[in-house]
Amino acid sequence: MRPKTSFSPDSITFAPFVLVPSTFPHHEFMKVKSLQPAINKLIHRVAHDQKFLKESLMNTVKVDDFTGRLFQIYEAVHSEGISQRISLGLLRSDYFLHSSTGRVLQVEVNTIASSFAGIATQVSLYHRYILSELGAYEHLQYLPDNQALQSLVAGMLKAWEMYGCEQAVILFIVEDITYNICDQRFHEFQIQTQNPKVRVMRCTLTDVGQYGTLDKEKKLYVKGKEVAVIYFRAGYSPEHYHSSLEWDARLLMERSKAIKSPSIQYHLAGTKKVQQELARPNAVERFIENEEDAKAIRALFAGLYSLDMNEEGDESVKMAIKNPHAYILKPQREGGGNNIYGKDVRETLERIGKKKERTGYILMDRIVPPIQKNYIVRPGSAPELNDVISELGIFGTIIGDSEEIFWNQEAGHMLRTKLSTANEGGVAAGVGALDSPYLFS
Ligand SMILES: Nc1ncnc2c1ncn2[C@@H]1O[C@H](COP(=O)(O)OP(=O)(O)O)[C@@H](O)[C@H]1O
Ligand SMILES: [Mg+2]
């Protein structure tokens, strides 16, 4: 990764990692892996259910300006008529093991900028190397194969093929400064490995605002190149939109014929509010007809509570104020560092009181994962043996439109590990470390 201190665009340093793979129960790992296609389908269907999205986000969009603006774009492209019916989902569903039950619970599903497929694939290989170096050959069989990068890129290339223009490029929407540069670059290199004819372009939202145009058929052109697929690695945070130029760029892309990952409805389907609404009784069943799958997905959900301005919301607030350490307060934001923990849950809810601002948040049961010991290796400091907890991510790829699903796959995994005392574990944010699972039964 590029270092945040003593930054230079020309230098990188190694990403934090743990020395040996952390253990994870085989049964739970296999369960969420095999459920990923059903989770893909769930998100895909939610994204295409206008009524559900609208009802779920109705109150949120009134108080949360960012989600509100995304929703405006969604409504604008709908009323104009969608020019690209196909969406590409590159998802990552995240889990913690719940220590009291030994079962996994879902933290969230990411529908935009699901990162680390590139580096996680390398870490899996690296842990093989380390165990071999240690002479622990008999343990290698417990390290699952990981094809996250290959699988995500296969999904992107399938979408590129479906767009149907050999000269058209895959456009990566990137931040002004990309710290997680190698992870992104690995995707580019893998695209070329799988299909040397496909060109990748990297642009910021500002670039697209300046150089993006639509032709009569709504084909998107940036700097003279037709765009087949747009892969958003930025655009999930208000900070990525400096002015109306970037918002105009987002709207332009959504109106275009390019296949987007995510399309605006996929982005909205990934909000915390939608996650909470999906946890209501019979909500999953509305989208997943297979009863066994629906039941299995539901069993992954932790307690999720609405904070809408009604009796139900008042009850959630009371519960959280009474026992703030048992819950996490979440605004509609992605990318880490936005959630509220511990006594701040109480303070925030007391400060907000009966103000409508409350509906911008949701409340979630705090999951308590089991603690293990491992060495976190970081640039510039000696590794120490620490108490750590691990969060598993399962990638999935899906391509389809409102009627049909053309492609639906589980797409590898990633594990990240953090100090047991840390609230959040973002690797890019400098708290988490990359890991890979050691499966035990
Ligand atoms: N219910 C929870 N219990 C325990 N930790 C959580 C829970 N929800 C989130 N976290 C921690 O906070 C981090 C960020 O939360 P998340 O909901 O994934 O938001 P973001 O969209 O910012 O990634 C997670 O990676 C996890 O470490
Ligand atoms: Mg997350």
CA distances from 168 to 4, 162, 199, 219 (A): 34, 11, 8, 10
Q: What would be the CATH architecture of the domain defined by 303-366?
A: 2-Layer Sandwich (3.30)
Set 40, 115, 146, 386: catalytic member: 115
Ligand in nearest proximity to the CA of 335: 1
303 lines ligand 1 (CB under 6 A): no
Q: Burial level of 418, CB count in 10 A (0-12/13-18/19+)?
A: buried
CATH label, 17-300+370-440, candidates 3.40.50.880, 3.90.1170.50, 1.20.1250.20, 3.40.50.1760: 3.40.50.1760
Q: Is 285 one of the catalytic residues?
A: no
DSSP 367: P
Structure confidence at residue 430 (pLDDT): 67
Q: How far apart are CA 81 and CA 228, in angstroms?
A: 19
Q: What is the pLDDT of residue 341?
A: 96
Enumerate the H helices of 239-310 as residue ranges.
244-255, 264-269, 272-278, 283-287, 291-298
Q: Which tokens is 345 given?
A: 């849950």
380 part of the active site:
no
Between helix 181-194 and helix 117-133 the angle, nearest 10°, is 90
> Hey, where are the domains in the chain?
17-300+370-440, 303-366
Question: Is pLDDT above 90 for 203?
Answer: yes
DSSP one-letter string for 159-224? HHHHHT-TTPEEEEE--SS-SSHHHHHHHHHHHHHH-TT--EEEE-HHHHHHHEEE-TT--EEETT
Residue 52 amino acid letter: F
Give me the phi and psi of 123, to 5 degrees please: -65, -35
Find the catalytic residue in 108, 161, 285, 357: 108
Is 332 one of the annotated binding-site residues?
yes
Residue 180 has pLDDT above 90, yes or no: yes
Chain segment 320-353, per-residue pLDDT in tens: 999 999 999 999 999 888 999 999 999 999 999 9
Ligand 1 pocket, 439 CB below 6 A?
Answer: no
Give me 135's structure tokens: 């002479």
Residue 246 has pLDDT above 70, yes or no: yes
- Interstrand relation of 169-173 and 200-203 (parallel, antiparallel or unpaired): parallel
302 lines ligand 1 (CB under 6 A): yes
Annotated catalytic residue 158: no
* pLDDT higher than threshold 70 for residue 72: yes
pLDDT per position as a tens digit, 129-172? 999 999 999 999 999 999 999 999 999 999 999 999 999 999 99
Q: Is the CB of 334 under 6 A from ligand 1?
A: yes
Q: What is the pLDDT of residue 5?
A: 84
**What would the pLDDT profile of 12-59 be if each residue is shown by its tens digit?**
999 999 999 999 999 999 999 999 999 999 999 999 999 999 999 999
Q: Is residue 368 within 6 Å of ligand 1 at its C-beta?
A: no
Ligand 1 pocket mutation pick from 101, 104, 108, 364 by most atoms within 8 angstroms of CB: 108
- Say whether 197 is catalytic: no
Buried b (16+ CB within 10 A) or exposed e, 196-207: eebebbbbbbbb
Q: Is 2 a catalytic residue?
A: no
- Atom of ligand 1 minimally distant from the CA of 110: 21
